[in-house]
Amino acid sequence: MRISRGHCTRLGAHLEGDGVNFAIWARLASHVELLLFAHETDTNPAVIPLSPRLNRTAYYWHIHVSGIQAGQCYGFRIHGPWRPYNGTRFDRDKVLLDPYSRAIELPPNYDRLAAARPGSNLHCCAKSRVVDLGHYDWEGDELPAHSLSRSVIYELHLAGFTRDPSSGLPAKRRGTYLGLIDKIPYLQQLGITAVELLPIFQFDPQDAPVGLANYWGYSPISFFAPHAQYAATSDPVTEFRDMVKALHRAGIEVILDVVYNHTAEGGDDGPTFCYRGIDNEAYYILNEQMRHTNYSGCGNTFNGAHPVALRMIMDSLRFWRQEMHVDGFRFDLASILSRDESGMPVANSPTLRTIDTDPQITDTKLIAEAWDAGGLYQVGSIAGARWREWNGQFRDDVRRFVRGDDNSVRAFAERLCGSPDIYHYHHADPEKSINFVTCHDGFTLWDWASYNEKHNEANGEHNRDGSNENFSWNHGHEGETHDTHINFLRLRQAKNMMVATLLSVGSPMILMGDEVLHSQGGNNNAYCQDTPLSWMQWKWDNRAQNMLRFMRELILYRKQLLARPEQDGMPHSLAEILRHSEICWHGVECYQPDWGSHSHAIAMSALSKEEKIAFYLVFNSFWEPLEFKLPAPPRGVGGEWHRILDTALPSPQDIVSFGSELTMVKGHYRLAERSCCLLVSGAAGFCPA
């Protein structure tokens, strides 16, 4: 090996000439060492000290090493003051990862706790690895670029989707990027337009209660490296790219759930394996006593307002867009990024606006979880015009109405219309709202209908973790039952929830497995359950197949309703029709909605004069059947009302197959208790066979 000065124009490790240039920002470091490992289990690395005179420029340390190439494992040791009372926590004994690592190796004996104990962690440390990004054939890959009005997002755990043996995949491909490729036909048949992957940044699998594993992945140790344990081979970067390319060929977008609000280093007594050992007070928000704040609920709060931290976030986003071709980002606890360096919320956050306006990611979707664990709640007010938001109010209000709560009908109506009370359409389009009733965090759809209380005992936290307020209802029995009546009612309610989600104005998101009524046994916080409890199950009983058919048809109706050959041949989605329709509200009597506190039923008619079509959507959350008088079909539309779906009917009558003949309905409609229906008028050219 030969060493030379190197440069700091690009941070991280990059192949240049006959070697690699390394560059790292460490403004307070007194001494930096580069460690080169022969392999991931090597405990006797070559140690190259960097000269403060030759290998330092301002706050940056850099060096070029000739004679090494892609695949080289490396790390740093950084010397500096250990002064926790001043915010610095340098530890010269710890091997540190490169914050810009494109790949990270965890040796078989990796030990998270060794990085938290005094002394060296050299024998069991994680290591960065040099990656060659320049030799991959994208074969003309292009982003599908679905509009949000035509989108149906599917929140998916990459490993859990195929890890169960029932997936039918070879053991080596289960739970991997390649395994997801194998299941693309299923996603196409379901009809979704985007997968939203739970965190795939390299995370610490040991950041979990003793004896359990970090399953969800909300514990990043890198913002650039794809999770190596999701790869079937030793090349996670290539596998991830292969997955993205295959999904794009199938017309499916890839949205990443990104975690820029905290890292796996935890609180003040947590491990030191990267940011804490490089510049603790720059990378994290500290309080007046120079201790870690915890607005994330995970022990620390990443300091996105600091220029260097913000630059790293932007570099990360650009990397995933430009080098990995992802289509969008869902920001976990995005409201943290609206806090300044002291932790105080800032109006019109510069950090969020920088992300919103960056020209290099303008063709990506930006979705915010607009709250944090410190009590900040910004649904409807996140800074930046391009941001879309997870609408937690949609989830809660739909759940409350469908289970039959008092004082819920008016809020439910607002959610069906895209939440104009939250988003104010003169400032935002209706797709500002990402509508969902379930996600990874909380009950699954079937568990919402099966449990009154959470059952998280398996997490080892004495059932104290997870939300206590789920707006759920067990329908007469806690947990699984053989009672036919209860199970039929639960199935009907699950369909009601999906109708509200997929026929509302906004962009719908559904949770992996809800389409086949997956249950987690009442666990509403399965973050540490890397077991069949959380995994997608691929052997379905009649009830699951019934739900799956209903979901496929419902998604098809939402996505493509009217052919428009006179334009571009693209179908006009139900969502697009509804957002431009004239809306009227009804009760059991036409044009007489009951907005009272004890109302449990509402009907909505939507007239699209442009398309000459009208819809009549009715929800009956009352515990008895109700007779609804139907308004006359609007003038100019013509025809009679025809039924598309009724969740009280048995399959396959519950929803008419797309393109099939519809049943005519005249004058009135008797809707069973706890069910919903959708009627259409003006069927000329409707649902082309």
Q: What is the DSSP letter of 587?
A: -
Select from 84, 100, 130 the last residue of a domain.
Answer: 130
Among residues 562, 590, 622, which one ends one of the domains? 562
- CATH (domain of 494): 3.20.20.80
Specify whether the CB–CB gap between 56 and 50 falls below 8 A: yes
How much is the pLDDT for 685?
Answer: 45
Check whether residue 553 and residue 579 sit in a common domain. no
The yes-or-no verdict on residue 575 having pLDDT over 90 is: no
The answer on pLDDT for 567 being more than 80 is no
Please give the torsion angle defined by the CA atoms of residues 400, 403, 405 and 407, in that order, rounded to the nearest 10 degrees: 50
For residue range 325-366, list pLDDT tens digits in order: 999 999 999 999 999 999 999 999 999 999 999 999 999 999
Query: Is 24 among the domain residues?
Result: yes
Does 275 score more than 80 pLDDT?
yes
**Quick one: 468 exposed, middle or buried, by C-beta within 10 A (0-12, 13-18, 19+)?**
exposed
97 falls within a domain: yes
Say whether 366 sits in a helix, a strand or coil: strand
Whether pLDDT at 630 is above 80: yes
Whether the pLDDT of residue 569 is over 90: the answer is no
Answer whether the bond into residue 631 is a cis peptide, omega within 30°: no
Is residue 300 situated within a structural domain?
A: no
pLDDT tens, 662-682? 999 999 999 999 999 999 998
Establish if 316 belongs to a structural domain: no
pLDDT value of position 635: 76
pLDDT value of position 573: 67
What per-residue confidence (pLDDT) applies to 683?
Answer: 58
What is the pLDDT, as a whole number, of residue 440?
98
Domain assignment present for residue 674? The answer is: yes
How, if at all, do strands 82-83 and 88-89 pair? antiparallel
Number of domains in the chain: 3
Residue 103 reports pLDDT greater than 70: yes
Are 407 and 432 within one domain? yes
556 and 587 inside one domain: no
The structure tokens listed for 356 are 């919103």
Least confident of 455-469, 478-492, 518-532, 565-579: 565-579
Transcribe 132-152 into DSSP letters. Answer: --S----TT-------GGG--
**Beta bridge mates, 12:** 23
The catalytic residue positions are 332, 369
Q: Which domain covers residue 25, as residue numbers?
A: 2-130
Task: Please report which helix (H) or strand (E) contains residue 316, including its range.
Answer: helix 307-322
The whole-number pLDDT of residue 425 equals: 63
Asked whether residue 124 falls in the same domain as residue 42, the answer is yes
Query: Residue 565 — very low, low, confident or very high, per pLDDT cuts 50/70/90?
Result: very low
Is 299 within 8 Å of 270 (Cβ atoms)?
A: yes
Q: What is the CATH number of the domain that holds 112?
A: 2.60.40.10
232/158 same-domain check: yes
Of the chain, the percentage scoring pLDDT greater than 90 comes to 89
120-140: b (≥16 Cβ within 10 Å) or e: bbbebbbbbbbbebeeeeeee
pLDDT (tens digit per residue) in 32-85: 999 999 999 999 999 999 999 999 999 999 999 999 999 999 999 999 999 999
Residue 79 is predicted with a pLDDT of 97
Residues 441-462: tens digit of each pLDDT: 999 999 999 999 999 999 999 9
Lowest mean pLDDT among 29-33, 574-578, 600-604, 680-684: 574-578
- What DSSP element (H or E) covers 156? strand 153-156
Mark whether 55 and 190 lie in a shared domain: no
Spatial separation of the C-alpha atoms in residues 181 and 174, rounded to whole Å: 11
- Does some domain include residue 181? yes
What band does 688 get if pLDDT is binned at 50, 70 and 90? very low
Q: Examine the domain organization and report whether 423 and 546 are in the same domain.
A: yes
Indicate whether 455 and 580 sit together in one domain: no
Q: Among 536, 562, 588, which residue terminates a domain?
A: 562
Place of tokens 């192949």: 15
CA Rg value for the chain: 27
C-alpha 142/C-alpha 245 separation (Å) is 8
Residue 440 burial (10 A CB sphere; 0-12, 13-18, 19+): buried
- Starting at the edge strand found earlier in the chain, the sheet holding 641-646 runs 582-586, 601-608, 613-620, 675-681, 641-646, 663-665
Whether 569 is covered by a domain: the verdict is no
Q: Nearest CA to 324 among 71, 136, 156, 197?
A: 136
**Residue 562 pLDDT exceeds 60:** no
Burial of 59 (0-12, 13-18, 19+ CB in 10 A): middle
79 and 180 housed in the same domain: no
**Helices then strands, each counted (H, E), the chain:** 13, 28
One domain for residues 585 and 504: no
Distance CA 510, CA 130 (A): 37
Provide the pLDDT for residue 689.
37
Give the separation between CA 197 and CA 226, rounded to whole angstroms.
12
Are 618 and 645 contacting, i.e. CB atoms less than 8 angstroms apart? Answer: no
Is the pLDDT reported for residue 574 higher than 90?
Answer: no
What percentage of the chain reaches a pLDDT higher than 70? Answer: 96
Q: Give φ, ψ of 37 to 5 degrees.
A: -100, 145
Q: How many angstroms separate the CA atoms of 12 and 14, rounded?
A: 6
Task: Specify if 217 maps to a domain.
Answer: yes
Residue 637 belongs to domain with CATH number: 2.60.40.1180
Question: Mean of the pLDDT values across residues 215-234?
Answer: 97
Q: Do 508 and 625 sit in the same domain of this protein?
A: no
Same domain? For 442 and 539 the reply is yes
Residue among 323, 322, 303 nearest 313 (CA):
303
pTM: 0.96
